[in-house]
Amino acid sequence: MSKKQQFVKFDKVDKSYDGKVLVVKDLNLDIAEGEFITMLGPSGSGKTTCLMMLAGFETPTNGEIYLDTNPISNIPPHKRGIGMVFQNYALFPHMTVYENLAFPLKVRKFSKEDTDKKVDKALSMVSLSGFENRMPGQLSGGQQQRVAVARALVFDPQVVLMDEPLGALDKNLRESMQYEIKHIHESIGVTVVYVTHDQDEALTMSNRIAVFNDGKVQQLSSPDKLYEEPVNSFVAEFIGENNTFSGEVVDISKGECKVKLDSGTEILSNPIRVKSKGERTIVSLRPERAIINPEKKMDNKHNGKIEEVIYHGDHTRVRLNMLGNSEFILKVPNSSARMDIKVGNELAVGWNSLDARALDPK
In angstroms, the CA 122 to CA 128 distance is 9
Footprint (CB under 6 A) of ligand ADP, residues 9-38: 17, 23
Q: Containing H/E element for 315?
A: strand 315-322
Residue 279: CB atoms within 10 Å = 19
Contact 119, 98 (CB under 8 A): yes
| Number of residues counted as binding ligand ADP (CB under 6 A) | 10
Minimum gap (Å) between residue 38 Cβ and Mg ion = 13
Coil, strand or helix at 36 = strand
Amino acid at 219: Q
Minimum gap (Å) between residue 209 Cβ and ligand ADP = 14
| 43 vs 187, beta carbon nearer ligand ADP | 43
| 43 vs 111, beta carbon nearer ligand ADP | 43
| 46 vs 350, beta carbon nearer Mg ion | 46
Would you call 111 exposed, middle or buried from its count of C-beta atoms within 10 A (0-12, 13-18, 19+)? exposed
| 31 vs 162, beta carbon nearer Mg ion | 162
| 165 vs 350, beta carbon nearer Mg ion | 165
Applying CB under 6 A, among 8, 38, 47, 194 the residue interacting with ligand ADP is: 47
Helix (H) and strand (E) counts in the chain: 8, 20
Minimum gap (Å) between residue 25 Cβ and ligand ADP = 11
48 binds Mg ion (CB under 5 A): yes
88 binds ligand ADP (CB under 6 A): no
Partner from Mg ion, ligand ADP, none binding residue 45, C-beta < 5-8 Å depending on class: ligand ADP
Amino acid at 187: S
How far from the centroid of its chain's Cα atoms is residue 269's Cα?
Answer: 27
57 binds ligand ADP (CB under 6 A): no
Applying CB under 6 A, among 1, 2, 43, 224 the residue interacting with ligand ADP is: 43
Coil, strand or helix at 228 = helix
| Per-residue b or e along 348-358, where b marks 16 or more CB atoms closer than 10 Å to that residue's CB | ebbbbbebbbb
56 binds ligand ADP (CB under 6 A): no
**Binding positions for ligand ADP, rule: CB under 6 A:** 17, 23, 41, 43-49
Q: Enumerate binding residues for Mg ion (CB under 5 A).
A: 48
